[in-house]
Structure 1
């Protein structure tokens, strides 16, 4: 277990100390993702690196112990989720050397055999209704906590996402939060070239959502947005988080070609040294 896990940030605390801890977790998680890219099968590197700060902030919010559940709907970024779970103290063992092995649960898409993963995700769009259903169950049971779905912008091409958005608004699920990792890329290229998303915030607002735009790598902004139980709210929240594919690794940052990467140990060591 790393030193980062020995002194977890308290969810009720704020200020520079907590943000420094979360930033250190994010940097270490990026190094673990690079290690997973150096496995025999490689990994979805670009999207795992873009979503990491969102996951670190969301898991920090969930550590309040109020029943908040975080669902990575863009399940192909499983390497990022495993790394975030480990540095957040939820997953005790280091998943990097075990990633992709036939006898281990650390597969290319996450499943509930991994500590901290309640729902399996992989087929895009499915994690969004899982999180909305969780939020509805918490509310019907008279409990607090959020259902937080983390989706990609390419994933918004799935109709199931918008069906869920419509239901969440109709049910007044103020405790449902959909965070969009808007890195501008998808499997076949750039979202702008395939199925653009103009006026995305206005789309969510038209469905009845509260909408916030933020820098998806600003841990202070992310933790502030996700704070609180939203129990008194009736409008679900859409967080459009602008991110950079491959964030943190200068050699691939912002490049569509880093969507899925397999590298050797020498390159992995070089990339890890560049992570700050």
Structure 2
């Protein structure tokens, strides 16, 4: 999604945005269909920071490749000022665009995602187009660590390195979980930094909940760089909500309004 706003927010505002977004995600979990709560909460700080970079209006495109975390994306778009209406009361309702996977009917979403792995080449293609057009914007893909089991991710990494796409950034929301359990129990991703480095990427491993640090990382000018960037963002599934933090069972949650009200008071 390309975001056109006057200026990026001062970093001091970003933590507040992320907390507000977490409350919105809990509201969506209390909707008629529930939502992918754990992954939406783990990815929120990444999305808020990436959208702050996109607020420069330089053509930076943010693609949520782990599209099942759509609730987190809608919340982040709202608190970032891209979506003017509150998506939480409309999430999952017939006739509304706020479905379980994001699509271009939602303001700020350019590419439909949900089939895992596909958002990564969308963002790499955007980065290549920006370079060919002489633009300074980034193509930022936000993927999950379970999603790295898709071969298309690594095919894209090979092409991005070969094309010297220094303006392509692949962020891994490394929360350790996936639909069927924990990544380490299903298909472990050992030596992940070495894997990306072997594909020719610059690699940074960081706290995926340090929203100000992430914003500073994304703010760097990469127009003249030739190595794509892989950001391994270590996160906690269900971050900010003590009853579900780190629990594989938080992957998809449906709750009632009373529990939502209680959980929102716990958000930290």
After TM superposition, give the deviation of residue 219 of structure 1 in Å.
Answer: 1.3
**Residue number among 239, 245, 256 corresponding to 2:237 in the alignment:** 245
Distance 2:244 2:216 in 1: 29
**Structure 2 length-normalised TM:** 0.97
- 1:93-242 to 2 correspondences below 5 Å: 93-242=85-234
Q: Which runs of 5+ in 1 are unaligned?
A: 1-7
1:190–1:256: 8 Å Cα contact kept in structure 2?
Answer: yes
1:9–1:22: 8 Å Cα contact kept in structure 2?
Answer: no
After TM superposition, give the deviation of residue 9 of structure 1 in Å.
Answer: 9.5
After TM superposition, give the deviation of residue 225 of structure 1 in Å.
Answer: 1.1
Are residue 88 (structure 1) and residue 80 (structure 2) matched? yes
Are residue 70 (structure 1) and residue 70 (structure 2) matched? no
Q: CA RMSD in A?
A: 1.1
Aligned length: 264
After TM superposition, give the deviation of residue 142 of structure 1 in Å.
Answer: 1.2
Runs of 4 or more above 3 Å deviation: none
2:173–2:234: 8 Å Cα contact kept in structure 1?
Answer: yes
After TM superposition, give the deviation of residue 20 of structure 1 in Å.
Answer: 2.6
- 1:6-17 to 2 correspondences below 5 Å: 10-11=7-8
Secondary structure of the structure 2 residue equivalent to 1:179 = strand
Secondary structure of the structure 1 residue equivalent to 2:135 = coil
Distance 1:109 1:50 in 2: 17
Distance 2:122 2:192 in 1: 22
Q: Which runs of 5+ in 2 are unaligned?
A: none
Distance 1:148 1:164 in 2: 13
Distance 1:20 1:271 in 2: 25
1:9–1:21: 8 Å Cα contact kept in structure 2?
Answer: no
Distance 1:167 1:149 in 2: 15
**Structure 1 length-normalised TM:** 0.94
Give per-residue Cα distances to partners, 1:96-150, cap 9 Å, x unaligned: 0000011100000000000000000000000000000000000011111000000
Distance 2:53 2:93 in 1: 31
Give per-residue Cα distances to partners, 1:197-244, cap 9 Å, x unaligned: 111000000000000000000012201111133011000000000000
1:29–1:84: 8 Å Cα contact kept in structure 2?
Answer: yes
